Structure 1
């Protein structure tokens, strides 16, 4: 057994920006990802999977908005955001576990996939509720964004020139409620957990209640991986490595980097909040909470990255200082997926 790994993919791994939310396309992409995970299991890894839900939760909410005029007549209940997060977690978990079981069976492996409905505890008084920042749903035009903001009270932001998305509150997770149960289950199955960052909940005098928010899936994944005793956290993004000095003569990739150096780059503004910043912060949090290694890489390089042949590897301390110097790769700056 090589150890345990939690692989965190974005909701955009199944639905690309700007494309319709086709279920057949999501099934196709889930099957491709499942083949990679099954390869890791065959290699001797114990694998957990987490996923984003930005596009999918937006689709669910939009369906509710479209039928709202007939809701009273049809007897349809209101759809709170926390319930849409739960719906998306269940649906994506179903898609991924079906694909994973198929890929595992094809290799003659006894492992099976299990999706755990996962809750993230948040502070209902967190300042994030007064400053929505988490994009959900598909990209929309400026005209549509203005109309939705006026008619439905949306908060919208321009995520790229001419492209807008709705944003909602995204408080940091305080804990993963089912972390201990996931830790116990992980040696016996490929566990899909903390989908969409977990269903946001708060503890009250009367028990638990859902909270209208979307938790960042990378932060939730880092917290789950650390508290469940996972060795390695892989945060999947659109590039093979993290870069510093972007667009300058000093541009370089980071191959192996210790937490202190990476935090210095973060504090120097190398990783914007709307790009690589949340992944870098989550990687740092994981290793500082006791994780052995955090890796940031692209989905096609997943297996290579776990073999140490690709990706940016973050550890609390590195044995050498020279490992961070790799050749410059002149590729465009990517947008981080949600």
Structure 2
């Protein structure tokens, strides 16, 4: 139940905070959400009833979702070119280190309350990013806030030791986004325009099946029984290989890595020895980690800045829906006759079919 309500909060919270971030700015949402995470972290450790715990856990899911979405969007919008691929991939290392830190911290404390306190104390230090991370320059240009945009550009030029070209402010005022009237973002904008509407309709299926397969491998102890630390190591290796190969975040990479992950799942379906089964599942997890290192960035880049966070929140809703289903997959096995261990393999096939659907390539 705790995992399900967290997923519910994260899914719904992603939609709401995505809208707020597109309307009022990514940096504000990031810092406000991070502050809420700190407060809720202490509250969870001191709740007096299970019902209250579930309620606070739901709010925590919404706040954590806002932090992750805003952080990724800032990584995408502050950088450009090859650095955009590099930084967005490095961003996924946060999941790897979180797995490892949680595993090591859990070894230090015998009570979950002290574990919760330790995790919350760590998050307090993240509030310092208010002085380190600027607002998204692309968002400022979209909302036609030239004065604040120029401040950030001057900070960047000073850091890079490169002077801004003369007349930069005038050039900014003459750019395309400044020539049209600014319209406040709405959820309906996700369904306007043929290309954007196709992405919005197909995205839920892609993210749901990718995530359901991924979380099925992560959470199913029959398939993968090496703990959080090993999970973090596998995720880290997957992201590192993607960086070392210089692989760009594009649809082809998702199709290849997700296809290899599906192939490993199919091979695992025919194995009986636990050692070979674990190796095949580890390989599936590895390639799945490579998929996760870029699929969100791909989606974010394909949407315009005006509705980018809402689009990612839309995909995030179905990702968390998949997490809730995967967390309760044992209960669902009473209604689905496939053995529990075969669910990720069957769903991977469906995900592969959807990935070959040419919607993203045609937009």
In the superposition, the TM-score normalised over structure 1's length comes to 0.31
Indicate the structure with greater helix content.
2
Indicate the structure with greater strand content.
1
Larger Rg: 2
Q: Which has the higher contact order (CA 8 A, sep 6+)?
A: 2
